[in-house]
């Protein structure tokens, strides 16, 4: 089927940009109705103060072949999330896929800054945005998702459980946030599995998000210009790659085999056969261990 998710309903919480936008777009390409949420709208920007908006994401979903619906939502506000879920229930009567992708912490952590030197307010704000939002959203959305068997919850994080268990991730607060989301998927797997639904943790590889491209001073059409300064960036991937991973999971009638597990875009590409937009299959987390962290020269041969 060209659109295996037609008649399915998804909520991508945190879909303004980056992985959330890529996931929403690919769910749309698979035919789904996708509610996209975030705090940056055409009328008002979040503290990120960036041009991407949830309305733009909804348009991309519709252009891809689905039905995109933008709903401004602060996922730290339980009342707003409850109103969002009530709206989905009223309009659709179902929820088949929940993607918890709220992050918002990009400007809140200091690299390699120990906890006693890190700005405490920023660190605690990061934890609220990256962890509390997921719990609030799951609390309100899961009763609707459980109305029908076969629902899927995807907890988006950075790093696999294996990688994060032995590697310090940037700062105390960043490390804690990403580990917490991994554990959320594990816990949800235990709670949802017996009730006919599936929960997984999913990480992209080195993501060519809008903010990452801006940080390297490149665009998607010339991203390789950054390789002279950052050679290992050669393993990077577009947000649509992890989007295709979510779409493949959502269309898999045997998705329960992954319940409670930590997955990556590169890993799932080998299983489901999808590619990134350029036709490659970057396997970033294997590359990080075997090439980058091993101190070898950048060479993606055999990894994409």
- Reported as a pLDDT band with limits 50, 70 and 90, residue 1 is low
Could you give the C-alpha distances from 46 to 24, 50, 109, 134, in angstroms and in order? 20, 8, 17, 18
User: Is 256 inside any structural domain?
Assistant: yes
Share of the chain above pLDDT 90, in %: 96
Nearby residues of 208 by Cβ (< 8 Å), 6 or more positions away: 220, 223, 236, 237, 238, 239
Give kind and range of the element (H or E) at residue 240.
Answer: helix 239-251
| Structural domain for 37, as ranges | 9-209+239-283
Across the range 236-241, mean pLDDT stands at 98
Crossing angle (nearest 10°) for helices 172-192 and 120-127 = 20
Structural domains counted in the chain: 1
Would you say residue 148 has pLDDT above 90? yes
CA distance 174 to 201: 16
Would you say residue 203 has pLDDT above 80? yes
User: Is 295 inside any structural domain?
Assistant: no
Could you give the C-alpha distances from 42 to 55, 58, 61, 74, 245, in angstroms and in order? 7, 12, 17, 15, 29
Across the range 69-79, mean pLDDT stands at 98
Contact indicator for 101, 20 with CB cutoff of 8 Å: yes
Would you say residue 84 has pLDDT above 90? yes
User: Is 296 inside any structural domain?
Assistant: no
Q: Which of 111-115, 130-134, 139-143, 171-175 is the least confident region?
A: 111-115
User: Is 163 inside any structural domain?
Assistant: yes
Give kind and range of the element (H or E) at residue 121.
Answer: helix 120-127
Contact indicator for 130, 102 with CB cutoff of 8 Å: yes
User: Is 269 inside any structural domain?
Assistant: yes
Could you give the C-alpha distances from 117 to 59, 93, 173, 177, 241, in angstroms and in order? 42, 49, 12, 18, 36
Would you say residue 205 has pLDDT above 60? yes
Q: Among candidates 92, 100, 96, which has minimal Cα distance to 137?
A: 100
- Give pLDDT tens digits for 247-295: 999 999 999 999 999 999 999 999 999 999 999 999 999 999 999 999 9
Report the chain's C-alpha Rg in angstroms.
18
User: Is 297 inside any structural domain?
Assistant: no
CA distance 4 to 120: 46
User: Is 26 inside any structural domain?
Assistant: yes
- Phi-psi label, residue 149: left if phi above 0, alpha if psi -120 to 50, beta otherwise: beta
Across the range 129-137, mean pLDDT stands at 98
CATH number of the domain that residue 197 is part of: 3.40.50.720
User: Is 1 inside any structural domain?
Assistant: no
What per-residue confidence (pLDDT) applies to 136? 98
Contact indicator for 33, 96 with CB cutoff of 8 Å: no
**Strand 198-203 and strand 152-156: pairing?**
parallel
What per-residue confidence (pLDDT) applies to 250? 98
Higher pLDDT, 160 or 1: 160
CA distance 58 to 128: 26
Phi, psi of 100 (to 5 degrees): -90, 95
Characterize 94-122 residue by residue with b for buried, 16 or more Cβ atoms within 10 angstroms of its Cβ, and e for exposed: bbbbbbbbbbbbbebbbeebeeeebeeee
What per-residue confidence (pLDDT) applies to 2? 85
């Amino acid at each position: 089927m060209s659109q295996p998710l037609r008649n399915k309903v998804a909520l991508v919480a945190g879909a303004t940009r980056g992985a959330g936008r890529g996931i929403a777009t690919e769910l749309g390409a698979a035919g789904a109705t996708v509610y996209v949420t975030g705090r940056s709208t055409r009328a008002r920007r979040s503290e990120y103060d960036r041009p991407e908006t949830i309305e733009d994401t909804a348009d991309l979903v519709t252009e891809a072949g689905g039905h995109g619906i933008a709903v401004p939502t602060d996922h730290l506000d339980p009342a707003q999330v409850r109103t969002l879920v009530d709206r989905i229930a009223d309009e659709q009567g179902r929820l088949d896929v929940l993607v918890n992708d709220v992050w918002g912490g990009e400007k809140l952590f200091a690299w390699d800054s120990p906890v006693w030197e890190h700005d405490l307010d920023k660190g605690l704000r990061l934890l609220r945005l990256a962890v509390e939002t997921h719990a609030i959203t799951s609390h309100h959305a899961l009763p609707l998702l459980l109305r029908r068997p076969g629902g899927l919850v995807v907890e988006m994080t950075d790093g696999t459980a294996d990688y994060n268990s032995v590697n310090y991730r940037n700062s105390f607060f960043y490390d804690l946030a990403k580990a917490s989301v991994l554990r959320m998927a594990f816990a949800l797997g235990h709670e949802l599995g017996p009730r006919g639904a599936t929960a997984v943790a999913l990480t992209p590889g080195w993501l060519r998000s809008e903010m990452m491209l801006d940080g390297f001073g490149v665009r998607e059409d010339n991203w390789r210009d950054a390789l002279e300064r950052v050679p290992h960036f050669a393993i990077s991937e577009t947000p649509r790659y992890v989007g295709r991973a979510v779409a493949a999971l959502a269309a898999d009638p045997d998705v329960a085999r992954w319940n409670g597990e930590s997955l990556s875009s590169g890993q799932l590409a080998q299983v489901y056969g999808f590619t990134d937009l350029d036709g490659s299959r970057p396997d970033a987390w294997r590359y990080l261990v075997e090439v980058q962290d091993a101190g070898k020269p950048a060479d993606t041969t055999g990894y994409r």
